[in-house]
Structure 1
Amino acid sequence: MTSFKIEWKKSAVKELRSFDKPVIQKIIAAVDKLSENPFEEGVKKLVGSNQTYRKRVGDYRIVFEVVFNKLIIEIIKVGHRKDIYR
């Protein structure tokens, strides 16, 4: 199976840095798994977009876009579930 390249938006990196170290490690591990299979269990498509999905990691969410023709996953947002969709 082909693996996807991961790209982070600057704003997503900034959000990630604001979390505690254990949370950061869990999120990075989840993103690494996404590169192998962006549609694994726990990934859901966001309503109103063709290529935007979210991955649940405990109380946190990773919002990402999949660019199929370039095999890229772009991490758009990372945040707590109460704040991520605002």
Structure 2
Amino acid sequence: MSGVKEIAFTSAAVRQWRKLSSVAREQIDLKLTAFAETGHGDVKALKGVSGMRLRAGDWRVLFTLDGDVITIHAVGHRRDIYD
């Protein structure tokens, strides 16, 4: 992976993002920005569905990667995100 990737949110992900505490948003933002810049982080492919997940402490970000665009589909706590 090379270059900085663009980060885009679906409308559902934006609603979820706004509900998070500022501490959670900051924690996720640091991990997401680092992944967008370096292509490295605690990222795994999802099983049974297309997409990937990024881990930021107890928070998860579900996304797809299409070229240089990271599309965020869901953001939430690890106990709820996979429901």
Same fold (TM over 0.5): yes
2:47 aligns to what SS in structure 1? coil
In the alignment, structure 1 segments of 5+ residues that lack a partner are: none
TM-score by length of 1: 0.85
CA drift at 1:27: 1.1
In the alignment, structure 2 segments of 5+ residues that lack a partner are: none
1:29-72 C-alpha deviation (Å, 9 max, x unpaired): 2221121134x23110001244x11011111101110002xx11
Match of 2:42 in 1: 42
Match of 1:59 in 2: 58
Aligned residue pairs: how many?
82
Question: Is the 2:59–2:78 Cα contact (8 Å) retained in structure 1?
Answer: yes
CA drift at 1:14: 0.8
Identity level (%): 30
TM-score by length of 2: 0.88
CA distance in 2, matches of 1:45, 1:19: 24
Q: 4+ residue stretches of structure 1 with deviation over 3 A?
A: none
CA drift at 1:2: 1.5
Match of 1:17 in 2: 18
